[in-house]
Amino acid sequence: MMESALTARDRVGMQDFVLLENHTSEVAFIENLRKRFKENLIYTYIGSVLVSMNPYKDLEIYTKQHMDRYRGVNFYEVSPHIYAVADNAYRSMRTERRDQCILISGESGAGKTEASKKVLQYYAITCPASEHVQTVKDRLLQSNPVLEAFGNAKTLRNDNSSRFGKYMDIQFDFKGAPVGGHIINYLLEKSRVVHQSHGERNFHIFYQLIEGGEDDLLRRLGLEKNAQQYQYLVKGNCPKVSSINDRNDWKIVRKALSVIGFTDDEVEELLNIIASVLHLGNVQYGGEDSGSAYITTETQIKYLARLLGVDGTVLKEALTHKKIIAKGEELMSPLNQEQAASARDALSKAIYGRTFTWLVNKINGSLAFKVWTRSNASVIGLLDIYGFEVFQNNSFEQFCINYCNEKLQQLFIELTLKSEQEEYEAEGITWEPVQYFNNKIICDLVEEKFKGIISILDEECLRPGDASDITFLEKLENTVGGHAHFLTHKLADGKTRKIMGREEFRLIHYAGEVNYNVNGFLDKNNDLLFRNLKSIYLSIWLLAKLMEILMSKEPSYVRCIKPNDAKQAGRFDEVLIRHQVKYLGLMENLRVRRAGFAYRRRYETFLQRYKSLCPDTWPNWDGRLVDGVSTLVKHLGYKPEEYKLGRLYSKIQCTRTTKLQSSWKGYSQKTKYRKMRQSAIKIQAWWRGILACREAKRRREAANTIRRFIKGFIYRHQPRCPENEYFLDYVRYSFLMKLHRSLPKTVLDKSWPTPPPALVVASEQLRKLCMQNMVWKYCKNINLEWKHQLEQKMVASEIFKDKKDNYPQSVPKLFVGSRLNGEDINPKVQQTLGNEKMKYAVPVTKYDRKGYKARNRQLLLMANSAIIVEEAKLKQRIDYSSLKGISVSSLSDGMFVLHVACEDNKQKGDVVLQSEHVIEALTKVAICAEKMNSININQGSIKFNVAQGKEGIIDFTSGSELLIAKAKNGHLSVTAPRLNSR
């Protein structure tokens, strides 16, 4: 059975409505939908028709693993899925060489757009690919976000509602790889550009540009990051939607435009036009006493002139005047405020509509495959159209949309119900007709020549006199007033009049009743752009060309159902679903499927496929085709009531179809297994022979190598000759490989492997090059900061190494730029120094020259002098030119003396200082003052000038700890701690 391989969850309810026991009951039908929907089984079949329920949440059923599960598998062998429909259409296209189409229909919000995207994704991932094919796949997929951005919008029923119809042809080459595509768009809802109902938004692209556009881009376009600033974006009072991330979608659209092949100039031009529509919406008018309108927002005109590349004066005139041709002369007539606003809105709609058409043509150009022709490729079409729409206020746009849906429903009836029953009659097979509603009567009401609604509207637009929307309504009442599917306020009974406006007419569509307000019908029909759209696309292309395209292909159907109006996951609104089941004609489709035969094939096709199942028909049948089919089905054990033989076709009941498919599959699998087994044996034998040859060759080469090596070893001390060249080359190779593995890692590593005699000279050259390279790398890796650090350390080494006890402890410590930060130096001092650059600062202890009293000070090294600071005062400035020398002991104390020339009256004598960072501080002083040779390291004592020729002495001795005090002899006594090493 078809469900034998399914999981327990898959078998909730019936995966095919045809298998319902009570198949005539609408209650049983809806209950089966409910059971499966509750288990997140959103797909169910009616024969080959897929019924899809929108889950309003993400389901983990669209992964690569799921695609592989449905790839190349019989339609009924796995649970229902959109991938099964896509794969079945693809395999039918490949095997039967007939173009396919997938018709996706349903209400707005039922999931049609998502279904078409899943089909595209399936083909993009599972079909064969090459470099060119991958490019086409990428462009096919990336066309979706671009078209959604420019053609989709948030409505009351759907946050991502398609506001245009789309038919896409996917073109496949003879290998089954997608090589191109073509998109036809129609019925773009241009009125949304200038007006949105409360709770709805304009097209996504406007909000994506405002929210996601880069600051430089928005500045160039004259836009602000606030949708509330633009009149065309505030009509619905819904600039933000929780389920939509405009900023992220903007990035996706920009990337998609690049993948599709838009140049930077084309993207810039496209965004200029989008921005110009927003600026047009902000154009405001004032009125003169004469009634003529004038523009009050000059800034918008400047932006528009620049973005559209037009003259501002001409643009202003076009927005406030209309051109009238009288007796061959052109006259400019001023518009009043209302007329000017209408002209502005008409221009906005026209600009956006033509931009959308240009966008689709550009995408088609990127998808076009120049080598593709009908003779070597096939097509799968995807139709995604507006769902049937019923709003609180329905106007001319909804009339066109619902009429298009009416025609598609008629097509569905023609291809599934009417043609099904007519085929049985043509085949001469007994058949009990199934009653269904044929909506041709409604299509005729709208499109019939001379007396249909469209003809009456055209006639009212063209007739002389004072025609209006109301006169159009009156003419409808007089012409089609008696039609069973037409009603107006005047023709209605008292109860209906209470809920129906005087300016409305009602059409009873196949999907239900819809009231249309006639206000604006004549204006929109007279609008040249809208009139062309209606007359060319709707009447000619949509209703003729589209039908011709669809009728020429083998159809597959996806019927989408919306489970509730609140867009809530898990909510099942039975009343709403029953309404959709009714107008989608699902019950009629089910009854036709159950009443007829699920499997039918022409005799020649049937025999060609299944003749191998019967000895009498295999390998060839020489008699009449009908007799061959009869022999075959009798051999398979079919009862007379389980099949019928018509004039051209054999038909088999649904309950026996699976047995036939299983028999054929079993036979074909067995045949395939035998062929594969024979092929495997041949391949194995061939491969074993190759392996044996390789092994013999490997052994011969190994033996020859050993012989050459031994012979070379014997002749190794001889000059190079054919007998030893292999051995010598091997020895050299071995040395070089050993050298490669054991190269010195640092410049201090002098190790080097002993070379063979023939490589002594070359080895020495390699050693030198290696050392030079390591030195070069070492120098290269030393950055400027580290170089400066090393230079200072070199100065310190020259001055103090082996001369001062605490020098070794300073070596591993890095010298810093300063020992004081900005907060440690008083602001008044910084203000006094002004722009003078400070090179180093360190806290010190100063000892008075007389009493040797210790005082905390700061030593600042400037560009030309050293400064001693006490809190906020500059106590002493010592110019480097007057610095005679620096004295320091050889012990580990931090004492040092700056010897200053006394010729300057400002200098009072030498300066006695102590620092914890004496090595660093004196190195900095020596570098700044350029006194590297003026630092004296003394043993025992240091003499210094106090003032006016008086002399002071500092005595240094070793001890256990640092002690600094005035001795009894008047000298400054310094006891320095002993260190373990010098």
Return the bridge partners of 575, or none.
none
Residue from 389, 406, 460, 920 carrying the catalytic annotation: 389
Q: What are phi and psi of 387, to 5 degrees?
A: -80, 165
- Please tell me the distance from the alpha carbon of residue 93 to that of residue 95, in angstroms, as a whole number: 6
296 is in an annotated binding site: no
Tokens, residue 141: 């997929």
Catalytic residue among 79, 88, 161, 416: 161
The helix (H) or strand (E) run that includes residue 844 is strand 838-847
Q: What is the DSSP string of 266-293?
A: HHHHHHHHHHHHHHHHT--EEE-TTS-E
Catalytic annotation present for 162: yes
Report which of 593, 417, 587 is spatially closest to residue 27, judged by C-alpha positions: 587
CB-hemisphere CA count at 13 Å for 410?
A: 17
For residue 136, what are the CA distances in angstroms to 141, 175, 365, 369, 435?
9, 15, 11, 9, 46
Residues 6+ positions from 363 with CB-CB distance below 8 Å = 139, 143, 146, 147, 183, 260
Q: Is 936 a catalytic residue?
A: no
SS3 254: helix
Structure letter (DSSP) for residue 955: E
Cβ-contact 182, 368 below 8 angstroms: yes
**Is 597 in a helix, a strand, or coil?**
coil
Q: Are 597 and 652 in contact (CB under 8 A)?
A: yes
Q: Report whether 798 belongs to an annotated binding site.
A: no
Q: For residue 153, give the 3-state DSSP assignment.
A: strand
CA dist., res. 114 & res. 561, Å (int): 13
Q: How far is CA 573 from the centre of its chain?
A: 34
Q: Which of 13, 47, 109, 213 is catalytic?
A: 109
- Expressed in percent and rounded to 5, the helix, strand and coil fractions of the chain are 50, 20, 35
Half-sphere exposure of 658 (CA within 13 A, CB side): 12
Would you say 108 is a known binding-site residue? yes
Residue 794: alpha-carbon gap to chain centroid = 58
Q: Could you tell me which of 379, 473, 398 has the C-alpha nearest to residue 187?
A: 398
3-state secondary structure 97-132: CCCEEEEEEECCCCCHHHHHHHHHHHHHHHCCCCHH
Beta-bridged to residue 182, according to DSSP, are 169
Residue 113 annotated as part of some ligand binding site: yes
Secondary element (H or E) of residue 150: helix 131-151
Q: Which residues contact 401 (CB under 8 A, 6 or more apart)?
A: 187, 386, 388, 389
Our measurement of the distance from residue 746's CA atom to the centroid of its chain's CA atoms, rounded to an integer in Å, reads 50
Q: How far apart are CA 136 and CA 978, in angstroms?
A: 83
**d(Cα 908, Cα 948) in Å, to the nearest integer?**
8
Rounded Cα distance between 288 and 295, Å, is: 11
Residue with tokens 């898990």: 570
User: Is 112 annotated for ligand binding?
Assistant: yes
- Other residues' Cβ atoms within 10 Å of the Cβ of residue 700: 10
Task: Specify burial of residue 360 (Cβ count, 10 A radius: 0-12, 13-18, 19+).
Answer: buried
Active site residue 387: yes
Residue 960 annotated as binding? Answer: no
| Catalytic member of 88, 108, 405, 525 | 108
Residue 213 marked in a binding site: no
State yes or no: 651 annotated in a binding site.
no
Burial letters 827-853, b for 16+ CB under 10 A, else e: eebeeebeeeebebbbbbbbbebeebe
Tokens 């239900």 identify what position? 512
Active-site residue identified among 387, 628, 646, 894: 387
Residue 158 annotated to the active site: yes
Q: Which residues of 440-478 are buried (b: 16+ CB within 10 A; e: fewer)?
A: eebbebbbeeeebbbebbbebbeeeeebebeebbbbbbe
Q: Answer yes or no: 389 catalytic.
A: yes
Residue 803 CA to residue 822 CA, distance in Å, equals: 34
Cα 551 from chain centroid (whole Å): 36
Residue for token digits 């996917």?
A: 170
- Which residue of the set 113, 364, 525, 915 is catalytic? 113
Residue with tokens 């490949």: 94
Helix (H), strand (E) at residue 713: helix 654-714
- Binding residue numbers: 106-113
- Binding residue numbers for ATP: 106-113
Q: Just list the catalytic residues.
A: 108-109, 113, 158, 161-162, 387, 389
